[in-house]
Amino acid sequence: MEENQTMVTEFILLGFCLGPRIHMVLFGLFSLFYTFTLLGNGVILGLISLDSRLHSPMYFFLSHLAIVDMACACSTVPQMLVNLLDPAKPISFTGCLTQTFLFLSFAHTECLLLVVMSYDWYVAICHPLRYSVIMSWRVCTALAVTSWACGSLLALVHVVLILRLPFCGPHEINHFFCEILSVLKLACADTRLNQVVIFTACVFILVGPLCLVLVSYSRILLAILSIQAGEGRRKAFSTCSSHLCVVGLFFGSAIVMYMAPKSRHPEEQQKILFLFYSCFNPMLNPLIYSLRNTEVQGALRRALCKESHSQLGWRVNLQHQ
């Protein structure tokens, strides 16, 4: 038995067992979503980098959110697309744990970034005169680095705890990527410590941050209601509504996946929830921010106008030559 436990070198991701034709349809659909995710977040990242009017703490954190969304999609979607084309293609044990680590790192980091962004909104609306002092670039950089570091360290703890477990078969993971709970089901040893650490992490990385976000927005709501001018109140609601949409999508799906009773959500439903979390959320975030943020829309228009002017100037130069 001990020899079998040490010989595990690869896993098979079962993914969606729906037949070859439907797999091809899903491959095309998810490829389209993946492309939109990279393009949408890439455009936001480019606009923030190139437009000096967007060089503010709010867009600094938004750029980190765009990076996390692209990275999260890249950690799961390519493997899912490969499995749709070749369901029998295995993933190595090292590759599987690497995918688990990357997904958890980006998910934890996004949780913390959303909390930081809610605090940024709170300071901007409730303490506008002290905003530049409180949210200095030094503070913003420290908050961003802390979010990335804590997210990665917590993911590393999960992976280290998995490495201590023996795996002696079966080697089939009933998921479209190496999700931590699905991997633990294949361990032939006691996983109670892993389960306790996962639950504790959910409390600190989901419930705790969500409470902080709700506290921030309750303060923001009170501040907005105290604004006398209707136009000012409307503008304040508009500026933070996009972030609130992202928070609802992210925390809602994550809490249902990791903290709801599993008996109410069979494995196939869990796959759909993870699909929404890892594929749809990263695609929706740039759409929500670009459609509901006038400054991002303005930056996009300026970039397009600059590009059209540069092309026109290039053509004029060619005609003169």
Average pLDDT, the chain: 82
pTM of the model: 0.85
What pLDDT does residue 233 have? 67
Give, in degrees to the nearest 5, the angle at Cα 295 between 293 and 297: 70
Q: Evaluate whether residue 310 is within a structural domain.
A: no
CATH of the domain at 210: 1.20.1070.10
pLDDT-above-90 percentage for the chain: 26
Domain around 146: 7-305
Q: Regarding predicted confidence, which is higher, 232 or 64?
A: 64
Residue 150: per-residue pLDDT: 94
CA distance 303 to 66: 19
Instruction: Give the type of residue at 270.
Output: Q
**Residue 49 in this model has a pLDDT that exceeds 70:** yes
Which uninterrupted H or E stretch holds 285? helix 281-292
Average pLDDT, stretch 50-73? 89
pLDDT tens-digit series, residues 219-265: 888 887 776 666 666 766 666 676 677 787 778 777 777 776 665 54
Residue 47 in any domain: the answer is yes
Q: What is the pLDDT of residue 309?
A: 53
Query: Helix H segments across 51-92?
Result: 57-85
pLDDT of residue 28: 92
Please report which confidence band the pLDDT of residue 162 belongs to, taking 50, 70 and 90 as the band edges. Answer: very high
316 domain-assigned: no
Span 11-42, pLDDT tens digits? 888 888 777 888 899 899 999 999 999 998 99
Residue bearing the bigger pLDDT, 112 or 298: 112
Work out how many domains the chain is built from and give that number: 1
105 vs 282: which has the higher pLDDT? 105
Task: Dump strand ranges (E) for 62-143.
Answer: 90-92
The sign of the CA dihedral 269, 271, 273, 276 is negative
> pLDDT digit string (tens) for 99-114?
999 999 999 999 999 8
Looking at residue 231, what is its pLDDT? 63
Residue 314 lies in a domain: no
289 vs 170: CA distance, rounded Å: 44
Q: Percent of the chain at pLDDT above 70?
A: 83
What pLDDT sits at residue 278? 78
Alpha-carbon span 95 to 186, nearest angstrom: 16
315 occurs within a structural domain: no
pLDDT reported for residue 193: 92
Exposed e or buried b per residue across 86-102, where buried means at least 16 C-beta atoms within 10 angstroms of its C-beta: eeeebbebeebbebbbb
Closest CA to 188 of 170, 208, 167, 218: 167
Q: Please report whether residue 133 resides in a domain.
A: yes
Q: How would residue 153 be classed by pLDDT, with cut points 50, 70 and 90?
A: very high
Contact at 8 Å (CB) between 133 and 232? no
Q: Does residue 288 sit within a domain?
A: yes
Beta bridge partners of 173: 13
313 within domain boundaries: no
- For residue 2, the model assigns a pLDDT of 43
How many whole angstroms separate alpha carbon 304 and alpha carbon 298?
10
Q: Examine residue 170 and say whether the peptide bond preceding it is cis (omega within 30 degrees of 0).
A: yes
